[in-house]
């Protein structure tokens, strides 16, 4: 692996934002293709972060700082993507359902998916079901990823599914759900296509849904 690519990888895994940005500038100045920076440095780094989380070596704080380092790096290289041959894994609309203002889990999922090559359209928090329907019409996503962090808002996951059906767009998109009170059984009960207990697992499920 190119030395600067290794520095980008290490910087993301360690959550060292400034190191990542410095290594990206060095790599670009040296003529390293932007697709190599992303595909060999940043995407594998978030994969390693996910692996460490699943093994119990990383926890939410470590994932958050790695995610922020990744976001900073992506912001740096995104303007160059139009001229690079980057193949997106798919488009994902993400959002926390109506009545729920929690965003840490949603933000982690967004960054992990972006790190895996997905294009992310983030609708934010407290998103009404109708807005997800509108997003399907506007963005034609492969997946809608819904989060609910409260038992009181969990039922709104099902209401999004119902709204998609009522608008006759349910068969155009896969539904991925998660959040602290959500279970695999509940996901199946509301007719979701996939369930992820954490941000790391969301990547694997999303990839399986678009494969």
| 106-118: pLDDT as tens digits | 988 998 888 788 9
Q: Is residue 69 located within the same domain as residue 94?
A: no
Please give the residue range of the domain that contains residue 121: 90-210
Q: Is residue 100 located within the same domain as residue 203?
A: yes
Question: How many independent structural domains does the chain possess?
Answer: 2
Q: Are 155 and 146 in contact (CB under 8 A)?
A: no
What is the sign of the dihedral through the CA atoms of 49, 50, 55 and 56? positive
Give the residue from 63, 83, 103 where a domain finishes.
Answer: 83
Burial 135-160 (b: 16+ CB within 10 A, else e): bbeeeebbbbbbbbbbeebbebbbbb
Q: Is residue 143 located within the same domain as residue 201?
A: yes
CATH of the domain at 129: 3.40.50.280
Give the residue from 67, 83, 99 where a domain finishes.
Answer: 83
CATH of the domain at 64: 1.10.1240.10
Residue 143 is given by DSSP the state: E
pTM: 0.79
Taking 80 as the threshold, does the pLDDT of residue 94 lie above it? yes
Give the residue from 39, 60, 83 where a domain finishes.
Answer: 83
- pLDDT value at residue 84: 53
- Work out the average pLDDT over 65-94: 83
- pLDDT value at residue 82: 58
- pLDDT value at residue 103: 87
Compute the distance between CA of residue 42 and CA of residue 24 in angstroms, rounded to an integer: 10
Taking 90 as the threshold, does the pLDDT of residue 91 lie above it? yes
- Work out the average pLDDT over 36-52: 88
In Å, what is the CA distance from 24 to each residue of 28, 49, 76, 185? 6, 19, 8, 43
In Å, what is the CA distance from 61 to each residue of 58, 184, 191, 200? 8, 25, 32, 14
Taking 70 as the threshold, does the pLDDT of residue 63 lie above it? yes
Q: Is residue 112 located within the same domain as residue 203?
A: yes
143: number of CA atoms within 13 Å, CB side? 31
In Å, what is the CA distance from 16 to each residue of 19, 32, 116? 5, 21, 19
């Amino acid at each position: 692996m190119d030395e600067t690519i290794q520095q980008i990888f290490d910087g993301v895994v360690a959550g060292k934002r400034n190191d990542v940005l410095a290594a990206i500038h060095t790599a670009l100045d040296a003529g390293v293709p932007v697709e190599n920076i992303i595909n060999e440095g940043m995407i594998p780094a978030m994969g390693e972060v996910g692996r460490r989380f699943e093994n119990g070596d990383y926890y939410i704080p470590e994932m958050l700082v790695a995610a922020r380092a990744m976001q900073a790096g992506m912001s740096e290289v995104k303007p160059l993507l139009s001229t690079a041959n980057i193949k997106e894994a798919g488009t994902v609309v993400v959002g926390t359902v109506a009545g729920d203002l929690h965003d840490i889990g949603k933000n982690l999922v967004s960054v992990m998916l972006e790190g895996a090559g997905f294009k992310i359209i983030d609708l934010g928090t407290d998103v009404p079901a109708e807005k997800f329907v509108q997003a399907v019409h506007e963005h034609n996503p492969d997946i809608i990823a819904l989060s609910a962090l409260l038992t009181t808002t969990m039922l709104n996951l099902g209401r999004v599914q119902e709204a998609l059906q009522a608008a006759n767009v349910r068969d155009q998109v896969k539904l991925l759900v998660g959040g602290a009170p959500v279970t695999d059984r509940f996901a199946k009960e509301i007719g979701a296509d996939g369930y992820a207990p954490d941000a790391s697992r969301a990547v694997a499920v999303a990839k399986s849904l678009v494969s």
